[in-house]
Chain A
Amino acid sequence: MKRRAFLAVASCALALPGAAGAGVQVWFSSGGEPVPVIRNGTTIQAAVEQLLAGPTAPERGRGIRSAVPHRTPLRSVTTTRRVVTVDLGARFAAGRDEAALRGRVGQLVRTVRSIPGVRSVRILIEGGVPVGLFPGYDLRRPVAAALQERPAHLLGTREVQQRLVDLGFLADPGVTGTADSQTSTAVLGFQKWANLPRDGALGVATRAALVRATRPVPALRAPGRRIEVQLRRQVALLIQDDKVVRTVHISSGAGGKTPRGSFSVYRKERNSWSVPFKVWLPWASYFTGGIAFHAYDSVPTYPASHGCVRVSRYDAPMLFGFAESGTRVDVFDEVALA
Chain B
Amino acid sequence: MTPRSARGAFVGAFGVVIGVVGCAAVAAAVLVALGLPAQGRADDGPSPAPIPEPRPSTLVVALDLRDPVRQAGVVKGGDVILARGLEVDIAREIVRRVGIPKVRFVYVRPAARLLAAEDPPWHLGIASIRATPRAAGSAALSEPYLGTDQAVVLRRGLPRLARLAQLRSLRSCAVQGSDGARALATVVSPTSAPMLPSTQERLFQLVQTGVCDAALVGAVEVGRFVAGRGALLGPVSARVALGNGYGVAVPRSSPISVAEVARALRGLRADGTMHRLARRWLTIDPARLRLLR
| Complex contact A131–B107 (CB within 8 A) | yes
Contact for B156 among A93, A127, A134, A215, CB less than 8 A: A215
Contact: A131 with B65, CB < 8 Å? yes
The contact of B74 among A125, A135, A243, by CB within 8 Å, is: A125
A212: B residues at CB distance < 8 A = 232
Whole-angstrom CA separation of A93 from B273 in the bound complex? 25
Residues of B within 8 Å of A131, CB to CB, are: 65, 72-75, 80, 107
With A90-B82, A93-B74, A125-B82 already in contact, the answer to whether A214 and B68 are too (CB < 8 A) is no
A96 adjacent to B68 (CB under 8 Å): yes
Whether A129 contacts B67 by the Cβ 8 Å rule is no
Q: Does any Cβ of A come within 8 Å of B210's Cβ?
A: yes
Residues of the A chain whose Cβ atoms lie less than 8 Å from the Cβ of B209: 163, 166-168, 213-215
Residues of chain B within 8 A of A243, CB atoms compared: 210
With contacts defined as CB atoms under 8 Å apart, how many contacts are there between chain A and chain B in the complex? 83
A126 and B81 within 8 A (CB): yes
- Give the shortest distance, in Å, between B144 (CB) and chain A (any CB): 22
Query: Does A244 lie at the interface of the complex (its beta carbon under 8 Å from any beta carbon of B)?
Result: yes
- Chain A 74-102 near chain B by CB (<8 Å), digits 1 or 0: 00000000000000001001001010010
A132 adjacent to B156 (CB under 8 Å): no
**Interface flag for A128 (CB, 8 Å):** yes
Q: How far is the CA of A243 from the CA of B80 in the complex (A)?
A: 51
How far is the CB of A43 from the nearest CB of chain B, in Å?
26
A291 CB-CB contact with B under 8 Å = no
What does the 1/0 interface line of A106-132 toward B look like (CB < 8 Å)?
Answer: 000000000000000000011111111
A128-B76, A128-B81, A131-B107 are known contacts. Are A214 and B156 too (CB-CB below 8 A)? yes
Interface residues of A in 160-199 (CB under 8 A from B): 163, 166-168
Question: How distant is B44 from chain A, measured CB to nearest CB, in Å?
Answer: 54
- Provide the residues of chain A in CB contact with B206, threshold 8 Å: 166
A144 close to chain B: CB less than 8 A: no
Is B157 an interface residue when CB atoms closer than 8 A count as contact? yes
B130 interfacial by beta-carbon distance below 8 Å? no
For A135, list chain B residues within 8 Å (CB): 67-68
**Residues from chain A with Cβ under 8 Å of B156 in the complex:** 214-215, 217
* Number of residues on chain B facing chain A (CB within 8 A): 28
Taking a contact as CB atoms under 8 Å apart, the answer to whether B155 and A166 are in contact is no
Contact across chains for B211 and A166 when beta carbons are under 8 A apart: yes
Interface pair A127/B76, CB less than 8 Å apart: yes
A101, A163, A243, A244 — most chain B CB neighbours (10 Å): A243
Tell yes or no: A208 within 8 A of B by CB. Answer: no
Q: Which residues of B contact A214 (CB under 8 A)?
A: 155-156, 208-210, 232
Question: Do the beta carbons of A132 and B71 come within 8 Å of each other?
Answer: yes
Q: Answer whether residue B104 sits at the interface, using C-beta atoms and an 8 A cutoff.
A: no
Residue B66, interface by CB 8 Å: yes
Closest to B85 in A: A132
CA distance A93 to B72 in the complex (A): 10
Is A37's beta carbon under 8 Å from chain B?
Answer: no
Chain B residues, Cβ within 8 Å of A166:
205-206, 208-211
| Minimal beta-carbon separation of B203 from chain A (angstroms) | 12
With contact pairs A126-B82, A163-B205, A167-B209 given, residues A132 and B73 touching in the complex (Cβ less than 8 Å): yes
Residues on A with beta carbons closer than 8 Å to the beta carbon of B208? 166, 213-214
Task: Tell me, rounded to whole Å, the shortest Cβ–Cβ distance linking A90 to chain B.
Answer: 6
Contact across chains for A168 and B210 when beta carbons are under 8 A apart: yes
Nearest Cβ on chain A to B81's Cβ, whole angstroms: 6
Q: Mark A246-267, 1 if CB is under 8 A from B, else 0.
A: 0000000000000000000000
Q: Which residues of B are found within 8 Å of A167, using beta-carbon distances?
A: 209-210
CA distance A76 to B205 in the complex (A): 43
Q: A167-B209, A214-B156, A215-B156 are in contact. Are A129 and B75 (CB under 8 A)?
A: yes
B253-270 vs A, CB cutoff 8 Å, 1 = contact: the mask equals 000000000000000000
Question: A163-B205, A215-B156 known; A132 and B67 CB under 8 Å?
Answer: yes
Q: A128: nearest residue on chain B (CB-CB)?
A: B76
Within 8 A of A (CB), among B39-84: 65-68, 71-77, 80-82
Q: In the assembly, what is the distance between CA of A131 and CA of B63, in Å?
A: 11
In chain B, what residue has the closest Cβ to A216?
B210
Alpha-carbon separation in the docked complex, A168 to B71 (Å): 40
A135 and B68 alpha carbons, distance in the complex (Å): 7
Task: Name, among A96, A127, A130, A131, the residue most crowded by chain B CB atoms within 10 Å (CB to CB).
Answer: A131
Question: Whole-angstrom distance between the alpha carbons of A135 and B107 in the complex?
Answer: 18
**Highest count of chain A CB atoms <10 Å: which of B67, B208, B211:** B208
Asked if A132 contacts B155 (CB within 8 A), the reply is: no
Whether A281 sits at the interface, judged by CB under 8 Å, is no
Complex formed: what's the CA distance from A131 to B85 in Å? 12
Q: List 8 A-B contacts (CB under 8 A).
A: A126-B76, A128-B81, A131-B72, A132-B71, A132-B85, A133-B74, A214-B155, A215-B210
Q: A131-B80, A133-B74 are in contact. List 10 more A-B contacts (CB 8 A).
A: A130-B74, A131-B65, A132-B65, A166-B208, A166-B209, A214-B232, A215-B155, A215-B211, A217-B157, A244-B210
Chain A residues engaging chain B, CB cutoff 8 angstroms = 90, 93, 96, 98, 101, 125-135, 163, 166-168, 212-215, 217, 243-244
The 6 nearest A-B residue pairs measured at CB: A215-B210, A128-B76, A132-B72, A166-B209, A128-B74, A131-B65
